[in-house]
Amino acid sequence: MTAEGQSVPLALGFSPGEFVTIVALPDAKSGLVQTTIRETPDDFNGLKASLAFFNTDASCRDASLRPAGRNADIFKAVSLGSVQRRSINPVKLSVQLVCANSNAGTTLDLGELRAGERYSLFLLPGAKLLAITDSLTH
């Protein structure tokens, strides 16, 4: 894997039905650090939206995600290098990152989530959230 002129070896296998996400981030010591996160999805409900939260930020303790302006957690205490996924009703959603039980950064507007779609939120170093709509590669 190569990014910004830095390279790291990439060799991994996949199990049937497994989703593998590889995140490569710049690192002052080694140039580039890769995090591999594996996920075996549950039954997918086409009437709901699927939302995932990936944590790649070591500085965010007990990384959690809440609907903006609310205290109920969508995801709670996602550990470094792991993912939590859940099905939610297709609604308009803005989220707030929570580190060590305190709001971190600004809210992120995800817009209107659609039934049958998969969405992922990545917590990047510096308490930054990146939202993507998933796609499958065969």
Fold of 2-134: Immunoglobulin-like (2.60.40)
Domain boundaries, the chain: 2-134
Predicted confidence (pLDDT) per residue in 36-60, tens digit: 888 887 767 889 999 999 999 999 9
Model confidence pLDDT, tens digit, residues 8-19? 777 777 888 777
* pLDDT band for position 23 (cuts 50, 70, 90): confident
Instruction: Kindly compute the dihedral angle of the four CA atoms of residues 72, 121, 23, 16, in this order, to the nearest 10 degrees.
Output: 90
First to last CA, the chain: 20
Tell me the pLDDT tens digit for each residue of 60-72.
999 999 999 999 9
Neighbouring C-beta atoms of residue 104, cutoff 10 Å? 19
